[in-house]
Structure 1
Amino acid sequence: MAAPMKVIDCDVHNMLRSSADLVPYLKEPWKSMIASFGVHMPGTYSSPIGVMRKDAVPPGGGIAASDPDYLVEQLVKPYNMEYAILTGGLYAVNVHPDPDYAAAVASAYNDYLIAEWLPRHPSFKGAMIVPVQDPQQAVREIDRIGPHPDIVEIMLASASPIPYGNRFYHPIYEAAERHGLPIGIHPGSEGGGISAPPTAAGYPTNYLQWHTSLSQNFMAHLISLVCEGVFEKFPRLRFVLVEGGVAWLPHLMWRLDKNYKALRWTVPWLKKMPSEYIRENCFLTTQPIEEPEDFEQLKQIFDMIDAERMLLFSSDYPHWDFDDPTHILRRLPEESRRRIFYQNAKELYNL
């Protein structure tokens, strides 16, 4: 079914065909190491049914979503997508214990993205990755890649050893703001490498529990970003919470505002209510949208968070829980759909 309106998809996973794709963009000793042994990133919980749509495998075979032309034919054209933000999948660089290895892989991926994906179709825009465990190297990479006209975002893993509001990360945010690049946070490798446990209670036993609990990381990062004064220090910086759900946001804003009223002396740098910073500086993507049987309940949540201004459409292609833009949120008013599926992203990414 063709989409009736223009769409900007804010989470499209372009995939490597193999580790060999990165080899031409690596320097020694990483070139020989990865050519011989492949890219090794910290692992975590794996889905027993796989994570990729079977029909996303290119006609010639290989990894789903690894062929730019087939991605255009299967996703961009049928759904009337003006832009597809290519978010990749190597987020585990952020929790690799070796910061130099992480920096080498991140730089190679960014060069590969620019050389072999972004020129292939005018709809393609890219999210770069950086080694956040070494802010100095991350800043150098942002200064190197950030000026490219088709790079529109910096993507971080929600897996991390410390919350993202911590001042350890602030040099990265200064560089992102200087280049006008939003920062995305995406699930990946929670509980792996040098990251903290994947839930506040520790390690669950299976993928279902891990996958359901991912929103905990987003809540912790968002509270940290607000309370550590990131948005006061970097007022033009925008964060995009990708693939972390939506329905948890109202109660977090209520609770944070309530506690701030009693404890504001502990965060004297804040000049506004916490929920104001969230509404002004943060966006969430729609996938995976929580759609209860009673749509009015979801609409109430949308009203609580001003979803018409905060949400960005994402399909999560080519994952198994892909969201079809012609099927989700069909009962929203037309103007709300236009903003969520198109206009908010167009403004955020200056497209």
Structure 2
Amino acid sequence: MAPTDPQNRATPVERAAVRCVDSDVHPMPRRGELLEYLPEPWRSRYFLDRHVGEQIFYDAPDYAHAYAMRTDTFPADGEFAGSDPDLMLKQLIMEAGADIAILEPLAGGARIPEASQASSVATNEWLARHWLDTHDNWHQRWRGSICVTIEDPDGAVAEIEKWAGHPYMAQILIRAEPRPSWGHPRYDPIWAAATKHDITVACHLGRGHFETLPMPPVGLPSYNHDFMVSYSLTAANQVMSLIFDGVFDRFPALRIVFVEHAFTWILPLMWRMDAIYDKRRQWLDIKRKPSDYVKDHIKFTTQPLDYPEDKTELSRAFEWMECEKILLFSSDYPHWTFDDPRWLVKHLPEHAREAVMFKNGIQTYKLPETVPALEGQTRVF
């Protein structure tokens, strides 16, 4: 029996070097699977008796049938894409060549912070029991995210304290949309807990309902295409808040990852912040150039990769932003926007390939440099 056969879950003894860390992978619960982990009274009072209104129209290809997922990622039993650990192992690890996958379950948000935190509590329990346990993580390729509700700092800190010692929890996962911005002192307990446990904080773009939708500066857009572009504006505002409000001076060991917010915009933003800093340094309390904070504290995932018609433009942007310092590979599996690591690596500058594909991931998430070897796995390098 092959060592990757799901019926044979003995961890291989032989080790293989990590050569691809995927920083954006989305597991999903099966139908009804999350309910038992939702704490009361929120399970009965909120999540089982709640009517959801319309969201901004999502015009992903074939959304009506595939829900913006790769059609081949739906398991044979009819469950949702990303709900089958064995299928994900086959497609993402064995066939595409990822060595470690950072799992980012998108915990359902809510208008009430306590209800949103209840969803985070349930998601963490579900992820630990259905993906990170020895049965489904026998190959040691899955690393989880501690989902927390940033609007509820006390609840968020409690979840961080509960899960930070778990051997397969690699990061804390928050949302960028809630107000005020991250530089506000109310969030300091979250940053303090993260640095206390030396664990990275990641932010994945999110959708909400009604006023929990990300709000661009001029108000809500009309359609999904401009809504998707506006995600980068939210991230840019959080970058500025982190830097100019002194978060990295208060917490010099803090690491932040922006997932799926794109990244080419960071180059002109660094130029602009540095220009303001140069002219107004005497009025600012920060100790260093803004671009230095970005390169030392902030990472961005490669998906979505904004690919211009003239590839030389992208190559120059990679060089100017020093991509080897700030980028992490990500595939966005199982979404339709999936970037295969074998495709992505070809578009990186040669000198930056190892840093982006695995070295930055190992450093950012404190990952091992080797994993159990799996017979027949595709290797990106």
Which amino acid in structure 1 is aligned with residue 189 of structure 2? P
User: Aligned to 1:327, what secondary structure does the other structure show?
Assistant: helix
1:223 aligns with 2:249: no
Unaligned runs of 5+ in 2: 1-17, 368-381
| Mapping of residues 92-241 of structure 1, within 5 Å | 92-93=108-109, 96-119=110-133, 120-121=136-137, 122-189=140-207, 192-194=210-212, 197=215, 199-241=216-258
Alignment partner, residue 305 of structure 2: 289
CA deviation after TM superposition for structure 1 residue 142, in Å: 0.7
- Determine which of 29, 32, 45 is the counterpart of 2:56: 45
Which amino acid in structure 1 is aligned with residue 36 of structure 2? P
Alignment partner, residue 345 of structure 1: 361
User: Aligned to 1:70, what secondary structure does the other structure show?
Assistant: helix
1:273 aligns with 2:273: no
Distance 1:44 1:161 in 2: 20
Which amino acid in structure 2 is aligned with residue 10 of structure 1? S
Indicate if the aligned counterparts of 2:214 and 2:231 stay in contact, CA closer than 8 A: no
User: Aligned to 1:154, what secondary structure does the other structure show?
Assistant: strand
**Structure 1 residues 8 and 41 mapped into 2: Cα distance closer, same or farther (>3 Å)?**
farther
**Structure 1 residues 41 and 124 mapped into 2: Cα distance closer, same or farther (>3 Å)?**
farther
User: Aligned to 1:21, what secondary structure does the other structure show?
Assistant: coil
Query: What is the TM-score when the length of structure 2 is the normalising length?
Result: 0.84
**Structure 1 residues 333 and 300 mapped into 2: Cα distance closer, same or farther (>3 Å)?**
closer
Write the deviation string for residues 179-235 of structure 1: whole angstroms up to 9, x where unpaired.
1111111110267444552x2221111111101221111100001000011111111
- The structure number with the bigger radius of gyration is 2
Write the deviation string for residues 237-275 of structure 1: whole angstroms up to 9, x where unpaired.
10001101111011100100111122234432x111111
CA deviation after TM superposition for structure 1 residue 329, in Å: 4.2
1:247 aligns with 2:264: yes
CA deviation after TM superposition for structure 1 residue 159, in Å: 1.6
Distance 1:41 1:110 in 2: 23
Indicate if the aligned counterparts of 2:98 and 2:341 stay in contact, CA closer than 8 A: no
Indicate if the aligned counterparts of 1:127 and 1:154 stay in contact, CA closer than 8 A: yes
| Structure with more relative contact order (C-alpha pairs < 8 Å, separation 6 or more) | 2
**Structure 1 residues 217 and 43 mapped into 2: Cα distance closer, same or farther (>3 Å)?**
farther
Which amino acid in structure 2 is aligned with residue 24 of structure 1? E
Which amino acid in structure 2 is aligned with residue 285 of structure 1? T
CA deviation after TM superposition for structure 1 residue 76, in Å: 1.4
Alignment partner, residue 87 of structure 2: 70
CA RMSD of aligned residues (A): 2.1
Which amino acid in structure 2 is aligned with residue 142 of structure 1? I
1:8 aligns with 2:46: no
User: Which range moved further: 81-90 or 332-341?
Assistant: 332-341
Distance 1:162 1:196 in 2: 12
Alignment partner, residue 321 of structure 1: 337
Distance 1:72 1:321 in 2: 19
CA deviation after TM superposition for structure 1 residue 334, in Å: 4.0
Indicate if the aligned counterparts of 1:191 and 1:203 stay in contact, CA closer than 8 A: no
1:22 aligns with 2:34: yes
Indicate if the aligned counterparts of 1:161 and 1:196 stay in contact, CA closer than 8 A: no
Unaligned runs of 5+ in 1: none
**Structure 1 residues 332 and 135 mapped into 2: Cα distance closer, same or farther (>3 Å)?**
closer
Indicate if the aligned counterparts of 1:43 and 1:189 stay in contact, CA closer than 8 A: no
Distance 1:186 1:6 in 2: 24
**Structure 1 residues 282 and 43 mapped into 2: Cα distance closer, same or farther (>3 Å)?**
farther
